Amino acid sequence: MRAGAEPILSVEDLHTHFFTQDGVTRAVDGVSFTVAAGETLGIVGESGCGKSVTALSIMRLLPPGLGRSVGGSVRFGGRDLLTLDEAEMRRIRGDRIAMVFQEPMTSLNPVLTVGEQIAEAVMIHQGKSRHDAWARAEEMLTLVRIPDAARRVGDYPHQFSGGMRQRVMIAMALSCHPQLLIADEPTTALDVTIQAQILKLMLELKGRIGAAILMITHDLGVVAETCQRVIVMYAGRKVEEASVLDLFDRPLHPYTRGLMASIPRRRPGAPRTRRLQEIPGMVPSLREPLSGCPFAPRCPLATARCTAEAPPLEQHGAGHVVACWEAGRIGVS
């Protein structure tokens, strides 16, 4: 978070578990972070690291009877969201905090026009008349650059392309001018050129309404293009946090370095058949208690201490924290 900036969201020691017949899965294990007004914070990691569950925990959208936040706090606007009843949470969700999901066809109602769906959110949260809410829907579709918005506001989700549906989701999320927008893999299902357009659009709209963005992604390229700060998660834990410039210039956790090395790139003079680097091994099961560093079985620098003791998050420069016993060795290598 920028120096002197007051956080609009503060997550402290969040623990989220899933309770199944096979046991308890510790999907989020003691994660803490803050988001400042107007900031874009990225949370990055491979599938299953807990980043999407963190977002769903903030929004209180975990599967009922299966997932539950069992510890910590999520403070927004001076209130702990985890302690609110469902009616209070509904008043915040979609109004002051909005979310854009990875696949819009699972989020949009196929039997309602996109205009009806945007207008409904405006009427519920802002008390607008149907006429004014419909006008806001047209305005938002124009804002996200959907051509002929006055006509297309009456179309159904299946009549839009994937990229256009994602624009509709962004329009719906921003229709009530939220303070915080959570974007969970908003460009994963789109081709590269459409991805770039969606990311540029989100940043432009963020600047227009002054919202903060929590960007959930596995793509370090998206982080580099959009974020000021980034958190790296592994096995439900935060293992590194830094400014984007510092993280790309000086990654200190072996997992972060592995992610960087796995980015496809072609260096001048390199053969076209150059193999991509990979991180060997598998993510540990989150159903079993983890002793030591969860990345130790896959880490080339692991020592006996790494498998026996879980490393705490420690400061390694201004705003740069990392949970690794060997971070000092990496920092001078």
Examine the domain organization and report whether 87 and 126 are in the same domain. no
Last residue of a domain, one of 251, 267, 288: 251
The answer to whether residues 209 and 193 belong to one domain is yes
User: Which of 224, 251, 278 is the last residue in one of the domains?
Assistant: 251
Q: Pick from 175, 197, 226: which residue ends a domain?
A: 175
Query: Which are the contacts of 330, defined by CB distance < 8 A and separation ≥ 6?
Result: 251, 252, 253, 254, 257, 301, 324
What pLDDT sits at residue 36? 94
Question: Residue 285 domain-assigned?
Answer: no
107 and 79 in one domain? no
Question: Is residue 135 assigned to a domain?
Answer: yes
Whether residue 159 is contained in a domain is answered as yes
265 found inside a domain: no
Q: What is the pLDDT of residues 69-108, one digit of tens each?
A: 999 999 998 899 999 999 999 999 989 999 998 877 788 9
Task: Please report the pLDDT score of residue 193 as a whole number.
Answer: 82
Q: What is the rounded distance in angstroms from the CA atom of residue 63 to the CA atom of residue 120?
A: 24
Composition of the chain by helix, strand, coil, percent to 5: 35, 25, 40
Residues 80 and 184 in one domain: yes
- Write down the H helix ranges in the chain: 51-59, 86-92, 114-126, 130-143, 149-152, 162-174, 192-209, 220-226, 244-249, 254-261, 304-308, 327-332
The number of domains in the chain is 2
**Together in a domain, 163 and 205:** no
Determine which helix (DSSP H) or strand (DSSP E) holds 18, and give its type and residue range: strand 7-20
| Statement to judge: residues 225 and 157 lie in one domain | no
What pLDDT, on the 0 to 100 scale, is given for residue 267? 58
pLDDT of res. 237: 96
Same domain membership, residue 88 and residue 217: yes
Q: Which domain holds residue 210?
A: 1-96+180-251
The two tokens of residue 14 are 């969040």
pLDDT tens, per residue, the chain with 333 residues:
555 567 999 999 999 999 988 899 999 999 999 999 999 999 999 888 999 999 999 999 999 989 999 999 999 988 999 999 999 999 999 899 999 988 777 889 999 999 999 999 999 999 999 999 999 999 999 989 999 999 999 999 999 998 899 899 999 999 999 999 999 988 877 788 888 888 888 888 888 888 999 999 988 989 998 999 999 999 999 999 999 999 999 999 999 999 988 777 655 555 555 566 788 888 888 988 888 999 999 999 999 999 999 999 999 989 999 999 998 777 655
- Give the neighbor-by-neighbor strand order of the sheet with 40-44: 97-100, 180-184, 212-217, 40-44, 229-234, 237-243, 321-322, 314-315
50: helix, coil or strand?
A: coil
Kindly state whether residues 227 and 206 are assigned to the same domain: yes
Tell whether 156 and 196 lie within a shared domain: no
Expressed in angstroms, the distance from the first to the final Cα of the chain is: 27
- Residues 156, 184, single domain; the answer is no
- Asked whether residue 282 is domain-assigned, the answer is no
